[in-house]
Amino acid sequence: MTARAAALRPVASFPLAEQIADRAEARLRVRTRFVLCAVLLAFALIGGQLVRLALKGAAEVKVTLAEPLARSWSRPDIVDRHGRLLATDVGMHSLYADPHQVLDVDEATEKLAAVLPSVDATELRKVLADRSRRFAWVARGLSPRQAQRV
């Protein structure tokens, strides 16, 4: 045996230290397997959901996606101890346009300006003529009567 090999050889064996190291290694293996199983389960759930959506018809998926938007949740009225109304939920209407879908900007501007006097016609014409945008606010906070007329 060379001097170098003798220097690298452990002087004494520590069974307790080896047991602690073995337990730590076993715990690490268990944790690794647990994390691997959790990740595989997550991917399996996501894959299952994708397969379920792929097997549905397009009309069913559209209806499913639109359901939460169609429902109307209103907050309850807030009343004092005598039952007098303090606050209530007021619905608001807003109007927007997709400039790509507006065929005649001048006609749309004239008709909207006639119904909505608070809208500046020149500004509305400029916004509707901008074909680089896909969304443009026309008016916010419309009254129910104005919303009905539009």
> What was the pLDDT predicted at 22?
87
Assess whether 145 and 83 both reside in one domain: yes
Residues 86 and 142 in one domain: yes
Structural domain contains residue 143:
yes
71 within domain boundaries:
no
| Helices 121-129 and 105-115, axial angle in degrees (round to 10) | 140
Average pLDDT, the chain: 83
- Are both 49 and 82 inside the same structural domain? no
Which of 30-44, 65-79, 104-118, 126-140 shows the highest mean pLDDT? 30-44
Exposure string over 59-80, b if 16+ CB within 10 A, otherwise e: eeeeeeeeeeeeeeeeeeeeee
61 domain-assigned: no
Residue 85 has pLDDT above 90, yes or no: yes
| Residue 144, domain extent | 78-149
Model pTM greater than 0.95?
Answer: no
pLDDT at position 150: 79
CA dihedral 107, 108, 110, 113 (to 10 degrees): 180
Q: What pLDDT shows up at residue 9? A: 59
Question: What pLDDT is recorded for position 56?
Answer: 78
Average of pLDDT values for 22-41?
95
CA-based end-to-end distance of the chain: 99
Residue 59 CA to residue 31 CA, distance in Å, equals 44
What is the pLDDT confidence band of residue 78, given thresholds at 50, 70 and 90? very high
Give the residue carrying structure tokens 């938007």: 69
The confidence band for 65, taking pLDDT boundaries of 50, 70 and 90, is: low
86 and 144 within one domain: yes
pLDDT of residue 63: 61
Tokens representing 42 are 């997550």
